[in-house]
Structure 1
Amino acid sequence: MNLSEASTPLSRLLPPLILGGAGFSYQVFRNPNSAQALEVLKRAFQLGLRAIDTSAYYHPSELLLGEALSHPDFALHYSRDQYLLMTKVGRITATQFDYSPAWVRQSVLRSLQRLRTSYLDVVFCHDVEFVPDEEVLQAVGVLLDMVREGRIKYVGISGYCIDVLTRIARRVREEYSRPLDIVQNWAQMTLQNDRLAREGLAALREAGVSCVCNSSPLAIGLLRANGVPVGDLGDFHPAPPGLRLAAKEAAEYVAGQGESLAALALRHSIRRAQSESTTDLRVTTIMGVTSIAELEDNLATARQVLRISNEPRWLWTVDAGPSTDFGSSKLEGEEDLQAAVREILGSWYDFCFPSPGDGWDVAAKRPVAAAL
């Protein structure tokens, strides 16, 4: 099956694992560069990853990915229809958004140029809770126009606030007489916060959404031993000090049991996504990496949950069950570890990050102080 066929339901094309492009940005990596992106992508493709999610906001991710994907090592081995490219529009900087029709169109055209491709498989409206719903709906309309032009295959929205995502999904279906193809939510199908599974999926399914991406399974690096990532732009992580301390305590406890909190959290998110997938709703996991070592560690962890397929498009099966070499006794022990982590997190379990928070004026699309 050709991955570029827009008539094919996205749920039949989207693999269970997607490579996140934020690892090639100034937000989470110091000095992202073309050598880093090329090395990681070459190894990722060798290991079977065939879908990439990025954003214009994750600068310079699009530029680095475009350079890597057009490298002879890729062009000679992987044609464009053998992988999926997903990017986003609307968010420009931490405090700057532009959802105007002119900018949405310009942003898509710029992404096409940066990624060195003639079409994009998916384009999301980025962090929709920061702008008025009407502007999101208008931007979706522009993206749908670009679908008809052949520049985009599928259209979605992304953000943190589940109630906003579901509300907009319902309104898109009402206004355009068709549902969104896909919705992306971050850090809410994790060991720390499981609200997406409990509160979001049913509502999104009712709105006709057939694909949901769970990104940030480690809550942007919170659920690991070495603390939150700090890139060239400094510490942007929204977790308050109390949650960071609890996560550190959980990581130390898990390490004392001979396990890694990052591996435990990643397995949990992948398994949760698989268990929540149905015939009419595909739930996948976006996995951010910054290095080959991190990529290989994460995929080794994923292998404990997913089976390897002989499919030529990618090696990871869409409907995989737990790997047979991940014994039931360990699974039982894993449940105990997960319960211990939740107990350590205490009141921080299911804590939601403020997004956009009281300091943001949604109508003005800027910080409150700047809006006065």
Structure 2
Amino acid sequence: MSTSQPRQTLQLPPIVLGGSGFSYQVHPDPKSVPVSKIIRHAFDVGIRAIDTSPYYDPSEHLLGEALASSDVASQYSRSDYILMTKVGRVSVDKFDYSPNWVRKSVHTSLERLGTTYLDAVFCHDIEFVTIPEAIEAVGTLFELSTKGLVRYVGVSGYDLDRLVYVAHAVREKYGRSLDVVQNWAQLTMQNTRLERYGIPALKEAGVPVICNSSPLASGLLRASGVPLGTLGDWHPAPNGLRAAVKRASDWVGTQDTTLAGLALRFSVARANRASQNGVSVHTLLGICSINDIEENVRAVRSILLPESAVGDGVKNGDASVLRLKSVNEAVEQRDLVLFRTVRKILGDWAEYDFNKGQVKQDVLPWWPGLSAGISADVLGDWSALAPRSSW
């Protein structure tokens, strides 16, 4: 399958609502959450994109009910917002990337979410399967995109090396680049590898849109520690990193801000700075309440300025998230002073990789010339790799 027809680019707001907040993974009772009111409030302030997954049980069910509710449907039509979901991850330790399952998963998500199309679908956590499996699943999604069921196709995961390799391999095999790639916890105050390595490497593979999920490293970078749902403490951060983050949080608390607020402002600013020359970077936020939205939007409005900040009567604190376009350099400079101290407190835990452990390099290499061609031998070597065990 090959196509050379120019494609439109997925248009996302600076921040995207992450549906994992409506799951048992991070919330003890997601069915008690007022999802319709949260979605309505998010849309009202300009967060008109949602990312979820069948794995985030029961997120898709709850979102479908919310989007059909009078709270949301009375004011917003389907074309007013972006819906993104995933395929392939069935449970904590079960994955199915087969064409039949991918098709079945997409149709199930359409039914749960009450829609006739999905704006974007990701292959979920591709580091847990072999590279050929991931490439084949992308091909199945490309087929579904020709039928109008899926508009944009992507892959997601933590392992940046795997994401980059698959992005190049997909373009080599199908003559079409991935539309979007989602990576988590690697454009944060603790780990900046997505900015230093991932974004340039993915851009080289022709990927126009990158989603930075978990700017708080899945709840690590906050005073209250990692979230606990019915799965218990699944977070991969070792105790030494957690202790260092606690010390950093205590210090930041003496500086008239919070670790979570500082971490979010940092990630959003860096994403904005990286959005240029044909690539855009967007931040995904896990949200469980209206208060989460208000706190997150307050932080984002403080670090980003609206496109017409002067002379239009709109105060920055009131601007829709959709209008926030450029970094507030005064806030950024104050934050960078705090950031440098936080990094000193983290010490050797700065740039710690949940996959690779301690990473010392300031600039990490990747496969040079990969886009020029991928040999069957290389793919064969990668296909023999055992999927990474779950956290």
**TM-score, normalised with respect to structure 1:** 0.90
Please list, as runs of the form range in 1=range in 2, the aligned pairs for 1:1-372 lying within 5 A after superposition: 9-11=8-10, 13-33=11-31, 35-308=33-306, 315-317=320-322, 320-323=325-328, 328=330, 330-354=331-355, 365=387, 367=389
Q: 1:277 to 1:318 in 2, by over 3 A?
A: farther
- For residues 55 and 23 of structure 1, the distance between their equivalents in structure 2, rounded to whole angstroms, comes to 11
Instruction: Name which of structure 1's ranges 284-293 and 331-340 shifts more when overlaid on structure 2.
Output: 331-340
Give the whole-Å Cα distance in 1 for the aligned partners of 2:275 and 2:24. Answer: 33
The 3-state SS of whatever aligns with 1:154 is strand
Per-residue deviation at 1:72?
1.6
Q: Offset at 1:332?
A: 3.2
Rounded Cα–Cα distance in structure 2 between residues aligned with 1:126 and 1:90? 6
**2:50/2:84 contact within 8 Å kept:** yes
Find the aligned partners of 2:386 and 2:353 in 1 and give their Cα distance.
23
Task: Give 3-state SS (helix, strand or coil) of 1:97's partner.
Answer: coil
1:333 CA drift (Å): 2.9
Query: How far did residue 10 of structure 1 move?
Result: 2.3
Does the CA-based 8 Å contact 2:37-2:71 persist in structure 1? Answer: no
Change in 2 beyond 3 A, CA 1:252/1:362 = farther
SS of the residue corresponding to residue 87 of structure 1 reads strand
**Paired residue secondary structure (2:298):** helix
Give the Å deviation of 1:275: 0.1
Following superposition, the deviation at residue 37 of structure 1 comes to: 1.3
Look up the match of 1:3: none
User: Helix, strand or coil: the match of 2:278?
Assistant: coil
CA distance in 2, matches of 1:50, 1:8: 22
1:320 partner SS: strand
CA distance in 1, matches of 2:63, 2:143: 26
1:364 CA drift (Å): 6.0
Q: Which moved more, 1:234-243 or 1:30-39?
A: 30-39
Mapped contact 1:87–1:124 kept (Cα < 8 A)? yes
The gaps in structure 2 that reach 5 residues or longer are: 309-318, 358-382
How many residues in Structure 1 have an aligned counterpart in Structure 2? 351
Over the aligned positions, Cα root-mean-square deviation in angstroms equals 2.2
3-state SS of the aligned residue for 1:105? helix
Distance 1:217 1:129 in 2: 20
1:222–1:244 distance in 2 versus 1, CA, 3 Å: same
TM-superposed deviation, 1:211: 0.4
The 1:7–1:66 alpha-carbon spacing in structure 2 relative to 1, beyond 3 Å, is: farther
What SS is found at the alignment partner of 2:218? coil
| Equivalent residues of 1:87, 1:123 under 8 A apart | yes
Instruction: Name the CA shift for 1:271/1:263 in 2 (closer, same or farther; >3 Å).
Output: same
User: Which consecutive unaligned segments of at least 5 residues does structure 1 have?
Assistant: 1-5
1:20–1:53 Cα contact (<8 Å) kept: yes
Counterpart of 2:325, as a letter, is: A
Determine helix, strand or coil for the equivalent of 1:214: strand
Following superposition, the deviation at residue 308 of structure 1 comes to 3.9
Report if aligned partners of 2:33, 2:288 keep a CA contact under 8 Å in 1: no
Per-residue deviation at 1:300?
0.4
Maintained 8 Å contact 2:253/2:259: yes
Return the alpha-carbon distance in structure 2 between the equivalents of residues 365 and 295 of structure 1.
36
CA distance in 1, matches of 2:97, 2:36: 31
Report the alpha carbon displacement of residue 98 of structure 1 after superposing the two structures with TM.
Answer: 0.5
The residue type equivalent to 1:10 in the other structure is: T
Verify the 8 A CA contact 1:120 1:152 in the aligned structure 2.
yes
Secondary structure at the counterpart of residue 230 of structure 2: coil
